Amino acid sequence: MDLTGARVVVTGGSRGIGAALAAQFAAVGARPVVVARDARTLDEVAQRVGGVAWPADLTDRQQVSGLIGRIEAEHGPVDVLVNNAGVENVGALLEHQDAQIEALYRLNLVAPVQLCRQVLPGMLERRTGHIVNVSSLAAYSAFPGMAIYGSSKAGLTQFTAGLAADLRGRPVGTTVVELGPTSTAMLDRVLAYAPTADSFARFYQLRLLADLSAEAVARATVYAVRTGRRHVRLPRRAAVAAQLAAAPRRTTEWLLTGVAHQQRG
Ligand SMILES: NC(=O)c1ccc[n+]([C@@H]2O[C@H](COP(=O)([O-])OP(=O)(O)OC[C@H]3O[C@@H](n4cnc5c(N)ncnc54)[C@H](OP(=O)(O)O)[C@@H]3O)[C@@H](O)[C@H]2O)c1
């Protein structure tokens, strides 16, 4: 996809991976709209990348409802949607309150699904568009303290695969980004919980994990959108786990090759 002048919505665009994504999309000529709660940091990013700040709390049902329509009414059609906003809430299940658990699933899974549903009709009508969902290697590997987070990302990975099946043969692409530890505030919070930090330490020791930079993740993701790649799996040394876990899905896709679907809508 040619990103020159493309309108790209990046959720969680105020810092970390989202801010790096906004900068990288801008660097190839796209026009980012960054979405997050903190209006001040959002404004700073928007100014830096020549984009637009759109403050919103994506755990709030009412703020998510009709969000893409409101952005499009002010800034024109959305060509690329990047569902990047996420929260980790690392800790044992019994340490979590119900409201916290619900907010995590809303942000990490429900809002991305709803934003996809909002953005797709316009993309299909214009016969162009791309959706990126930022998931995690925690979708495949079970680390202590990450049961809720990992299950939300497993849902997002599986949702993206199902969406790609729905969109087969249609002019809208999908990319799922599956990441290991990336140097952001989120990783600092994850490593502050001893059971998770101890498990990660074993993987670092065995050289199965190495921290990524947000900029490297952003470069690989923007490249994937430009070239229509369906997967970004980093670090490369851990990608084999994701490939093995995805094998049944790939087998289904392969078995369905040549089966024509009657698409509705
Ligand atoms: N860092 C890692 O090691 C790692 C590894 C694998 C996957 N990931 C995934 O990568 C994505 C980005 O993570 P990150 O490391 O960049 O995290 P981060 O540094 O904590 O940034 C999270 C972003 O999400 C926004 N956000 C949080 N709650 C929100 C809400 N309720 N509504 C709207 N926006 C909200 C934050 O802004 P506000 O607080 O201002 O709202 C911020 O812009 C996440 O989906 C994460 O799960 C990260």
Write down the mean pLDDT value for the chain.
Answer: 96
Q: Where are the domains of the chain?
A: 7-254
Can you name the residues that pair with 11 across neighbouring β-strands? 35
Q: How confident is the model at residue 205 (pLDDT cuts 50, 70, 90)?
A: very high
Residue 193 annotated to the active site = no
- Closest Cα to atom 1 of ligand 1: 182
How much is the average pLDDT of 203-231?
96
Q: What is the DSSP string of 47-65?
A: HHHT-EEEE--TT-HHHHT
pTM of the model: 0.97
User: pLDDT confidence of 261, banded at 50, 70, 90?
Assistant: low
Beta-bridge partners for 36: 55
CB 32 within 8 A of CB 51: yes
> Helix H segments across the chain?
16-27, 39-49, 61-64, 67-75, 98-105, 111-126, 147-166, 185-191, 194-205, 214-227, 239-245, 247-255
Q: Is the pLDDT of residue 264 over 80?
A: no
Q: Is the dihedral of CA 11, 12, 18, 19 positive or negative?
A: positive
Q: What pLDDT, on a 0 to 100 scale, did the predictor assign at position 263?
A: 59
Q: Is the CB of 17 under 6 A from ligand 1?
A: yes
pLDDT in tens, 116-159: 999 999 999 999 999 999 999 999 999 999 999 999 999 999 99
Protein residue whose Cα sits closest to atom 42 of ligand 1: 12
Rounded Cα gap, residues 181 and 189, in angstroms: 11
- Residue among 105, 140, 149, 193 flagged as catalytic: 149
Residue with tokens 């990450």: 146
Confidence (pLDDT) at 259: 80
30 lines ligand 1 (CB under 6 A): no
Residue 127 alpha carbon to ligand 1 centre in Å? 30
Task: For 26-72, write each residue's pLDDT tens digit.
Answer: 999 999 999 999 999 999 999 999 999 999 999 999 999 999 999 99
Choose the residue to mutate in 40, 83, 182, 187 for probing ligand 1, maximizing ligand atoms within 8 Å of C-beta.
182
Judged by average pLDDT, the poorest of 10-14, 193-197, 247-251 is 247-251
- How far away, in angstroms, is 139 Cα from ligand 1 center? 16
CATH fold, domain 7-254, is: Rossmann fold (3.40.50)
What's the gap in Å between 182 CA and the centre of ligand 1? 11
